[in-house]
Amino acid sequence: MSPKDTNGRAGQVRAITRAVSVMRALSESADGLTLSETAAQSGLAASTAHRILTTLESERFVRFETASGCWHVGVSAFTVGAAFARTRDVIVLAKPYMRRLMESTGETANIYLESGGEIVCMGQVESRHAMRALTRVGGRTKMHWSAAGKAILAQMRPERARRVLEEQGMARATARTITDPSALAAELEKIRAEGVAVDDEEHADGLRCVGSAVLSENGTAAAAISVSGPRSRISDERLEQLRDAVGRIVSEVTREYGGRPAGS
C-alpha cells in the first residue's frame, strides 16, 4: 500500500470519527446546538464542524432549525437507531422461546435476520444430541437454500423478493435446492398460507430444517426462527411435528414482539 493510500484511509477514518463526535454532541442536547456549541462540544474547529453538519444534513442525519439557529438530530439517525433497537429486541425477546423450542424438540434452535439479501445467524440454542446441526453464529446463508430464508422471503413484497433473488442469484447447493423462480414462487405462496417453511436437504445433504418468520405489526418479517437436525433423526412424521412446534413458538414470539401472527 502506498503512503498516499494510507493517508487517504486515515483521512476517511478521521472524518468518520469527527462525524460521530458531532452526532454524539447533538444527541446529548435536548434543545439542539448552535454551530459554535457543536464545534466546542465535539472538539472541532467551527469550519470543520460546519462542513460535517452540512454533509450530514444532505443525508438527513441532522437538521437545521432556522428560528433558533440550532442543529438537531435528523430523521435518518432515528431510522438507523430504530433498526438497531428492533433487531436487538427481537433477538433478546426470542431467546427464552428458542430454549423452549430446543427442549421440546431436542433439536438446535436458531434465529436469523436478513442482511444484504442473505440471512445471518444471530443466535442459537444448541441441541444436546451428540450429532446436531450447528450453523455458526454470524454465518451467512442464501435465502432460497434455507427454511428461515424462505420464511423471510415469503413475507417480503413480491417486487423486493424478486430483486433479492435477481441480485443474489439462485445457485444450487444440493440436488434438492429450488433453482427455478416459478417453483420457488409457488413454494413461497405455500409458506405464506401455512406460516411455516421447510428445508428438505436443500442447503446440505442429510440436513432438514423447519422455520417460521417472526412478524412485525405490518406483517413483514422481523426475523426467522428455525430448528435443524439430521434427516436420520427427522423422519417425515417428525417433520410434521416440528412444523407444529415451530409454528406455535413463533406465533408466541410474534405476539410478544407486538406483531401480527400469520393468518390473523
Kindly state whether residue 146 falls inside one of the protein's structural domains: yes
Q: What is the model's pLDDT at position 164?
A: 92
Dihedral sign (CA 149, 150, 156, 162)? positive
pTM: 0.66
Kindly state whether residue 178 falls inside one of the protein's structural domains: yes
- The SS3 assignment for 142 reads strand
Q: Are 7 and 110 contained in the same domain?
A: no
Q: How many domains does the chain have?
A: 2
Q: Are 45 and 23 contained in the same domain?
A: yes
Q: What is the model's pLDDT at position 47?
A: 95
Q: Which of 133, 135, 138, 134 is nearest to 120 (CA)?
A: 138
Q: What is the model's pLDDT at position 225?
A: 97
pLDDT higher than threshold 80 for residue 87: no
Round to whole Å and give the CA distance between 51 and 264: 50
pLDDT-derived band at 133 (thresholds 50, 70, 90) equals low
Round to whole Å and give the CA distance between 64 and 210: 49
In tens, the pLDDT along 21-37 reads 999 999 888 899 999 99
Kindly state whether residue 48 falls inside one of the protein's structural domains: yes
Q: Are 16 and 135 contained in the same domain?
A: no
Q: What is the model's pLDDT at position 84?
A: 63
Q: What is the model's pLDDT at position 7?
A: 53
Q: What is the model's pLDDT at position 250?
A: 96
Q: Are 149 and 239 contained in the same domain?
A: yes
Q: What is the model's pLDDT at position 65?
A: 95
Domain CATH for 201: 3.30.450.40
Q: What is the model's pLDDT at position 145?
A: 93
Q: Are 124 and 198 contained in the same domain?
A: yes
In tens, the pLDDT along 156-174 reads 998 999 999 999 999 999 9
Q: What is the model's pLDDT at position 140?
A: 86
Q: What is the model's pLDDT at position 100?
A: 96
92-96, 106-110, 121-125, 133-137: least confidently modelled range: 133-137
Q: Are 118 and 228 contained in the same domain?
A: yes
Q: Answer with the one of 47, 73, 99 that is the final residue of a domain.
A: 73
Q: Are 172 and 106 contained in the same domain?
A: yes
The amino acid present at 222, given as its one-letter code, is A
pLDDT higher than threshold 60 for residue 235: yes
Q: Are 204 and 128 contained in the same domain?
A: yes
Q: What is the model's pLDDT at position 150?
A: 97
Q: Which domain holds residue 178?
A: 82-257
pLDDT higher than threshold 80 for residue 10: no
Q: Are 155 and 54 contained in the same domain?
A: no
The amino acid present at 39, given as its one-letter code, is A
Phi, psi of 54 (to 5 degrees): -70, -35
Kindly state whether residue 106 falls inside one of the protein's structural domains: yes
Domain CATH for 46: 1.10.10.10
Q: Are 21 and 115 contained in the same domain?
A: no
Q: Are 92 and 98 in contact (CB under 8 A)?
A: no
Q: Are 229 and 157 contained in the same domain?
A: yes
Round to whole Å and give the CA distance between 78 and 7: 32
Q: Are 18 and 143 contained in the same domain?
A: no
- Give me the chain's average pLDDT, please: 89
